[in-house]
Every structure is written in structure tokens, then in C-alpha cells.
């Protein structure tokens, strides 16, 4: 019974962290804002559609290289909602101020 409860709790936490939108996070149109841009897309996606001046750290490496991100306002660049939610939660956990996000991909 306890094992079942723990498994259900882990599944709910996993779903929440990836699919429930982060509060007070707004979409940003364009790249004119004074902020640090953190590109969470895979290296292949960011190479096909680069953003000048962005720090490219894919979601899988974000926790490992989080110290390389300056402690300033951040705009997240992601290829989908899951990357955006996961990255925003992790950055907020480490005390970063997230100004907004933009969803982009190789075809956009």
C-alpha cells in the first residue's frame, strides 16, 4: 500500500513538473528585451535556428551548467511547452528571475 502511494506521488510530481504551466510567466515576442536569453532547445535545433547572444544549455544539461547563467532577468527559448515548463521550474528553484519565454523550433 505504501509503495503504491509513493509511486502515485512520484507520477503526479513528474506530470506536474513537465505539463502544468508555470505561473506568472508570459510569452515574449521578439528578442529586443534587456535580458539574458537561455536557449533550452537541443543543440541540433538551436544550430538550425540560432538566436544571437543566447546561452545554449539544453534541458538535459541545465542542472549541470546552471552556474554559467548570470543572475539577471532571463528569457527562456524552448522548442515546446515541456522544455519551457521544466526549465522555468528549475531556474526558479535556483533563484533566477524569469522575465518570459518564447517557443520556437526549426520550422518557425
Q: How long a stretch of residues is the chain?
A: 108
pLDDT on residue 24: 83
Domain that holds residue 46: 2-103
Q: What is the DSSP letter of 23?
A: T
pLDDT on residue 34: 82
Task: Report pLDDT digits (tens) over 31-90.
Answer: 666 889 999 999 999 999 998 899 999 999 999 999 999 999 999 999 999 999 999 999
Domain count of the chain? 1
Q: Alpha helix (H) ranges present in the chain? A: 2-19, 43-48, 81-93
Determine the Cα–Cα distance for residues 43 and 13; give it in Å rounded to an integer: 27
C-alpha dihedral (65, 18, 43, 79), degrees to nearest 10: -130
Q: Nearest Cα to 74, choosing from 45, 52, 101, 41?
A: 101
Is residue 16 domain-resident?
Answer: yes
What CATH number is given to the structural domain containing 23? 3.40.250.10
Report the predicted TM-score, pTM, of the whole model to 2 decimal places. 0.81
Amino acid at each position: 500500500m505504501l509503495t503504491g502511494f509513493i509511486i502515485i506521488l512520484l507520477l503526479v510530481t513528474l506530470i506536474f513538473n513537465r505539463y502544468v504551466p508555470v505561473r506568472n510567466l508570459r510569452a515574449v515576442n521578439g528578442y529586443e528585451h534587456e535580458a539574458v536569453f537561455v536557449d533550452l532547445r537541443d543543440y541540433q535545433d538551436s544550430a538550425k535556428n540560432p538566436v544571437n547572444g543566447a546561452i545554449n544549455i539544453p534541458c538535459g544539461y541545465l542542472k549541470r551548467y546552471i552556474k554559467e547563467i548570470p543572475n539577471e532577468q532571463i528569457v527562456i527559448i524552448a522548442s515546446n511547452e515541456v522544455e519551457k515548463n521544466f526549465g522555468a521550474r528549475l531556474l526558479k528553484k535556483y533563484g533566477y528571475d524569469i522575465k518570459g519565454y518564447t517557443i520556437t523550433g526549426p520550422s518557425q
